[in-house]
Amino acid sequence: MNDALSPSRPHPIDTRLLQMMRGNQRLRGIFNGLPSPAIVEMCAYAGFDFLIIDNEHGSADLQMTEHLLRAARASGIPALVRCLEHDLARVLDMGASGVQIPMVESAAHARELVQRVRYPLPDGQGGRRGSAFSTRAAGYGAFGGPAHTRLSNEAIVLVAMVETPRAVECSGEIAAVDGIDAVFVGPNDLAHAMGHENRWTDPPVQAAIERALRAVSAQGKCAGVLALTPEEEERYAAWGGRYFASVTTALITRAFQQAARQGRAELNY
């Protein structure tokens, strides 16, 4: 008999992420838009809590996305996929632990996303996700059927992103939607939408970030935001943030810049 939770044949979906989102510890995720399974493994071995495969701004196609999810599962790091809505069904079928959807601006939009993430159930509850057990998420049929449906509905994480002033105003209502597990503030888009270009450290943008983080935390949901320095993380944690993300390209570029400056200094010496 197939057993989706058998330790000898683990389910393709890493189910640990939901408990992370529902806990009370700080979480450190990392966005990766590079189409490289090796980078995914490096993030896992470096000790990040989870990975966000960035299919909004990254260059991976869907086939590569599936390979990145395989690398995440093999190296032991849960993986969200930040994807555009038209790719939502296929990303879920690839076995993502969760999805993070940009530009959610209302509770109605959030409820629609919940419907698209969850399978229908015999009691008429659940959602409208199309059912197929031939996919990687269901072990290509090895873990198909009602057990896969239940596991997917109960364990897949849905993160809504708030990135506009309107979304900030609605952030508490978005967080309150049953099935939304976390709300993530995108500071760069928010700053642009507020007329501050990329200057998300400007006081009006920081005030909007604070308002959103506090509203989400007040609903008992995990509040997230990009935090590129320890100082930012501490500030956002004081406002209720718990999911903090950095970016692979920023970390790599910073390391390369430091190496280049050091190399020039040694040559000049």
Which residues are the active-site residues? Answer: 57
One-letter amino acid for residue 22 of the chain:
R
Cα dihedral sign, 216-218-222-228 = positive
d(CA 39, CA 191): 29
- Are the CB atoms for 65 and 91 separated by under 8 Å? yes
Tokens of residue 264, six digits: 């020039």
Of residues 150, 145, 151, the one with CA closest to residue 121 = 150
Question: Rounded to the nearest 10 degrees, what angle do helices 37-46 and 62-75 cross at?
Answer: 30
- Count of beta carbons in the 10 Å neighbourhood of residue 154: 10
Exposed (0-12), middle (13-18) or buried (19+): which is 85, by Cβ within 10 Å? middle
